[in-house]
Chains A and B, each alone.
Chain A
Amino acid sequence: MKIALFGNPNTGKSSVFNLLTGLRQHIGNFAGITVEKKSGSFQINNQQHELIDFPGVYSIYPRSKDEEVVYKVVSNRKHPDFPDLAMIVVDASNLERNLLLFTQIYDLKIPIVLVLNMWDLAQKRGINIDIEKLQSHFPSVSIVTTNARIGFGKDRLIEAVKNHQLNIASNLILEDFKLCDLGNKKQQEDETQFRYQFLKKIIADVEIVEKSKTDTLSRKIDKVLIHPIFGYLIFAFVLFVIFQFIFSFASIPMDFIDAQTTNLSSFVANQLPIGLLNDLICQGIIPGIGGVIIFVPQIALLFLFISILEESGYLSRVVFIMDRLMRPFGLNGKSVVPLISSVACAIPGVMASRTIADWKERLITILVAPLMSCSARIPVYTLLISLVIPEKQILGIFNLQGIVLFGLYFLGLISALFIAIILNLLIKKKEKGFLLLELPSYKMPRWPNVGINVLEKVKIFVIDAGKIILSISIILWALATFGPSGKMDNAEKYVKANPTFSELTTEEQNQKVASARLESSYIGIFGKAIEPAIRPLGYDWKIGISLITSFAAREVFVGSLATIYAVQDDGDENVRLIDRLKNEKNSKNEPIFTLASSVSLMVFYVFAMQCMATLAVVRRETNSWKWPLIQVAFMGFMAYFGALFAFTILS
């Protein structure tokens, strides 16, 4: 049987989902719609049931992109995800608003299990609901009470599914109910008003409220967390802790993954016979996969924190206090999470923008998110900084290299806000933006929900970004391995025949060969072709090659430089590569990696849109190639002229 899980936001719907399905969950797509479908399965008497988790909504009429799927599925009985049974989770302490959605689905004649969740909370607040009376109003519905957060009520849920009555509602609220068109707002308003009037009568009959309903503890916590000074200080501190974890502690598993990828590559390289397949696997596929996995620790950590903040109820307060500050930039309080996420990776950042109801605010968030410096830029920044910025203290406490690194992040943030202002002026909008957000009571996070959420985000990244990063890695490998016939083989002969190289060790000779082959490959030819365009920025064709390879993932820049300068990438702080780069001279015997050209490169990497995976996600989220192309254009413009400016000023 196909069971759909519906409910308002903050009703503990995901707790119910996790309670029933445990870890038997998977993510797919709804048929014909690019919205993630989270589904899971559970068994009753050896019978398998599929449970589909829909986004939390107040009504079947959507107000943001992620909510559309509810309408699309319930309005079409032929939709492959149309449920046999709807499980509707409601917050028992706020019955009236929660039942609106229930009455809509009820009138669509879908069999229903109604879950009165947060039963304990309702009772604590002095709200008593007479289940028998409620049942008498809706005889065809199976009603159960649960406290899913503490894992209470699973047996009853299963019992209700087992015993649910397939006979659908006969006493409809709106006879012959037809769903309103999404465009017909007036009709929706009339329908909603009518339903509320109906519900008021029901609530008056079934609910007895003893005490004041106010949640005094949450109100007290809000006094501190929304305070004009402490509120922002606490948020700043929370951000500091998050970034401390992402940048310092995540490097331990990242170094481990890096080392294991290298080990695996060389292990496989020695096992397989030498040849093209060996090269493809060891230089294309394994590093490609490694380049995806390496970001998992940071993404997992970031979403661990975001999930905790979300589960506890704090995140909606962050939206609340940040909304006014973000608005002048054409952004929304809800843009804060996508922008913060983009510091780890723009892909989950862009996806997190789905919660923003206003299209224009959402679009601006998506367009500027990749300007936030993501973790793939760190290896590039680190290499260039240690190359030209001396390691010295300023004012006794500040490390100059650290300041420059901070400056690059700051440049990303400032330019994101600046571009947002410009886009806000340029993009026309038909309708006013709106926020409309619930500030739920504070709760202790429920750890299984947090864990499952993290797992889900990591999965999305590995699958979505992974397939693109991997395919680009393979394409780039091919471009770097093949070249116009004859030329590549000559490279090897040339190195072997050159008397100056004959005294080198075999390993060093091999590196020279690799370098010469890369130079005469297709990618080498591209690099040389773009040299005239990038010379004003202080780059030569060797850097050009590395810029091109960065389109797989920015951090590939470092590996490419290592190959082209025939330095073994020993992964140990790039010491050898840095020495090599310092001595690199151009044809006029001037050093290539000067302060000017290196800073110019850093600026280029801050701005340039060099991530195919992000572009693919932006295309999917905006439903056209228009916006990703605009993004490539303005970010490319900023990168080129920013780098040109930096180079000209400094040289």
Chain B
Amino acid sequence: MKSNSLAKQAFGVKVQIKNIEDSSFSNKLIELGFIIGQTVEVVFSAPFGDPIAVELNGSVLSLRLEEAATIEVENTDSL
């Protein structure tokens, strides 16, 4: 898991996508709008903490933690 992946973010914190790791589903993540530079926010998680729901461009998408782990993000405040 990347040190600063989407899987590790607290709820309600807006972060920016830095990189999408290559995986069998990376093309599908990109199609859903997970593209570099896009702002994204974890809004809630399912019981047991997995999967998580993220807000992206006004819609809510659900991801398993292992999917979210392939999305590298950085905190927008630190920019």
Seen from chain A, the residues whose Cβ lies within 8 Å of a Cβ on chain B are: 58-59, 61, 63, 93-94, 96-97, 100, 125, 127, 185, 188-189, 192-193, 196, 213-214, 218-219, 222-223, 226-228, 231-232, 316, 319-321, 323-325, 333, 357, 430-432, 434-440
CB of B61 within 8 A of CB of A437, answer yes
CA of A302 to CA of B46, assembled, Å = 26
Q: Chain B, interface size: which category?
A: 20 to 34
User: Which A residues touch B28, using CB under 8 A?
Assistant: 58, 63, 357, 434, 436
Contact call B62/A324, Cβ cutoff below 8 A: no
A109 to B13, CA, bound (A): 42
Extra 17 A-B pairs, beta carbons < 8 Å, given A214-B58, A227-B47: A58-B31, A58-B32, A61-B31, A63-B25, A96-B33, A97-B57, A100-B31, A189-B26, A192-B27, A231-B47, A319-B62, A321-B47, A324-B46, A333-B51, A357-B28, A434-B67, A438-B60
A431 engages B67 (CB within 8 Å): no
Q: Are A94 and B58 in contact (CB under 8 A)?
A: yes
**Residue-by-residue, is B16-45 near A (CB-CB < 8 Å gives 1, otherwise 0)?**
000000011111111111011000000110
Contact B47 A232 (CB under 8 A): yes
How many residue pairs between the two chains, A and B, have CB atoms under 8 Å in the bound complex? 115
**Alpha-carbon distance A135/B69, docked complex (angstroms):** 39
Q: Which of A125, A232, A431, A432 contacts B58 (CB 8 A)?
A: A125
- Write the chain B residue with the least CB distance to A229: B47
A59:B31 contact, CB within 8 angstroms: yes
Task: Give Cα distance in the complex from A333 to B60, angstroms.
Answer: 17
Taking CB atoms, residues of chain B closer than 8 Å to A231 are: 47
Whole-angstrom CA separation of A58 from B51 in the bound complex: 21
B46 touching A438, Cβ below 8 Å:
no
Contacts of B47 in A (CB 8 A): 226-228, 231-232, 321, 324
Given contact pairs A226-B47, A321-B46, A61 touches B61 in the complex (Cβ within 8 A): no
Closest beta carbon of chain A to B78's beta carbon, Å: 23
Look across to chain B and name the residue whose beta carbon is closest to the beta carbon of A219.
Answer: B43
What separation, in Å, do the CA atoms of A436 and B25 have in the docked complex? 9
A333 to B52, CA, bound (A): 13
What are the residues of chain B within 8 A of A357 when measuring CB–CB? 28
Chain B residues with Cβ below 8 Å from A439 are 53, 60-62
7 cross-chain pairs, A with B, having the tightest CB-CB distances, nearest first: A431-B24, A228-B47, A213-B58, A59-B31, A434-B25, A439-B60, A97-B33
Q: Are A438 and B25 in contact (CB under 8 A)?
A: no
Do the beta carbons of B30 and A193 come within 8 Å of each other?
yes
When the two chains form their complex, are residues B32 and A435 in contact, meaning their CB atoms are under 8 A apart? no
**CA of A436 to CA of B23, assembled, Å:** 14
Query: B64 contacts the other chain (Cβ, under 8 Å)?
Result: yes
B32: chain A residues within 8 A (beta carbon) = 58, 97, 436, 438
| Given A97-B33, A192-B27, A431-B24, A436-B57 contact (CB < 8 Å) | no
Asked if B53 and A192 make an inter-chain contact with CB atoms under 8 angstroms apart, the answer reads no
CA of A638 to CA of B58 in the docked complex: distance in angstroms?
Answer: 50
In the bound complex, CA of A321 to CA of B47 (Å): 6
Distance between Cα atoms of A243 and B62 in the complex (Å): 28
Flag if A432 contacts B23 (CB, 8 Å). yes
Contact of A196 with B35 in the complex, beta carbons under 8 Å: yes
Task: Report which of B26, B53, B58, B61 forms a contact with A185, defined as CB distance below 8 A.
Answer: B26
Q: Give Cα A213–Cα B43 distance, bound, in whole angstroms.
A: 14
